[in-house]
Structure 1
Amino acid sequence: MTEVAASDQLLVVIDPVARRDDGESVRIAKDVLSAGATTKVCLPDGPEEFARALRRRGSRRPVVVGDDRALLRAVSVLHRQRELAGCALSVVPVGGALSLVRSLGVPTGAVAGARAVLDGAERRLDLLVDDSDGVVLGALRIPPLAVRPGAGSGTGTDEEDAETEAEAEQATSSHSWLRTCQSLVRTLVPVRPPRAPSANGGDGPSRLRVEVDGVTLVDLDQPVEGVSVAPGDAGVAEVEVRPLSVGAEASPLMARGRTVTVSGAHFRYRADALVSGPVRTRTWTVRAGAWGLTLPVA
């Protein structure tokens, strides 16, 4: 890890969602950062201004104040500019969706996060880059698309139901009267019954070809429950395929490699905080040490 000097000039880019949802934590983060370094604070109103601020950072070290999506947006912008190699990012976690930043080792809380920016060190991390120039910082999943009878609300997969409820809770956490109205609306709106799986395993694809470094791990004749891909160690990806179990539970298929290609019928995938697709094929390649993140010194 490369040590970061607290005297560096910082460009503090505060995500608009963080300002709206938790202004007090934003204020605390600004105060701690300003007390320890020379800062320029930027308050973008949307993604375009967010990207413009990063492009015009000059020699300042960028610090993102926001949640998982804000960090992902910053990495995506720098990747498209081909400036990730020479730029160490920092993030002060503010918001409700922080599972990604926690998994990367960033301390949560405005004070702890800001202190890590000032006193931490740069760690180079692997990145998954797909064939459309998209990036994945953590893990990606292709969930089972067939709806199980009685699962969730009957309107989507278990993961989608849980994500929708979590986002609704986050959006109304500071407005109890909105939660009350939301609960009333839910009692008035009928829940759609679960759709029966189609003959080929569901409304979406259940048969995918997964290739790791050109070697087929599972082919179209093997229905799958889901696929997950995450950066591993030493510049390789960890791939897990869960075959559809019939009777006894099927053991997952595991593989490691630098390139992962998934193809088949149109499928969607969840990468970090975003859902993408549908696509017929997608290839992800591991780029070792492609981006730097400031983390606490162990």
Structure 2
Amino acid sequence: MDFPPHDIRVPMLPAFPPGFGTHASASMQTYRALLRAMAMEVAAPMGGQAPWFVNLPWVHGDTSALLAALDLHVRANLPEIRRMPVESVLQLLSRPRVIRRLAGSFVCSGIRFPAVPLRPLSSLKRYPAHPHEEKWTVDKCIYPCLPLEHRIAAREREFLRWAEHESEIQALCRLHVGHPFPELPYCDPAGHAIAYRPRYLLRTRTTLHLVDLDPVGDSARDTIRYWCRLINTLPPTCRDGLRWLHAPLAQLDLAAWRQQTELHDLLVRAAFACLPDVPAEQMPMRPPKDTSMRETPSV
């Protein structure tokens, strides 16, 4: 393993063209439509023979490794667009001649496909924290301590105790704005595009869980799950061999659920179903676990 055992690597899928902000949802959609037009040109037979990767199932997704690779190709071959207004970029890329030229140069460039870089969370060397924040000692994280948000500190402590105690959980981290993470936009109730970030990432042997301890609206949750499905269409090498699942835990009584099931099982169930706040009374209770070795907060 060429990175720390408790590190987590994420695919940095480009989601916005140069100069776009997360608020520019209409421009972003237009740019993605132009990338899809280039993808169709790439997939069209050229010289009587289609590129070898055209028949791969994940090439045809709305967001795919092909679109990510095309985005990188556009940036590399048209460096001047970084200094152009967004409207001018879209006008340039909407010209059929430009689309055909970029698609042709992409196929002929011998680009290693797909070109989706993996970035480790450890690229943020030190976790920033305010002096007054409570810190919690963790063993399965690249940082020795994680700050707790005062508003939900009790839930975070319960969650971290559970994750640290369970052998299926190999690594965890609370995401900071400085961590690398792909732009996964969704629309808020006002219709503005917001870049989504989960509160925690948890890695098991097969899965990367995006965990929310705060409430997430239904429309946002559906969009986040959609993003996870699209990321799961990438080749395994582009997502570190892990399946992405969104686990909204905001309404769940973690202490009650801990007596009924394993955390990794709860995360999977939360990803595919709406769970009750507390487990049903008729469910068989598991024997109480030994909590004498639980972590204590560091001062």
- Same fold per superposition (TM over 0.5): no
TM-score category, normalised to shorter length: under 0.3
Q: Which has the higher strand share?
A: 1
Tell me the TM-score normalised to structure 1 length.
Answer: 0.23
Tell me the TM-score normalised to structure 2 length.
Answer: 0.23
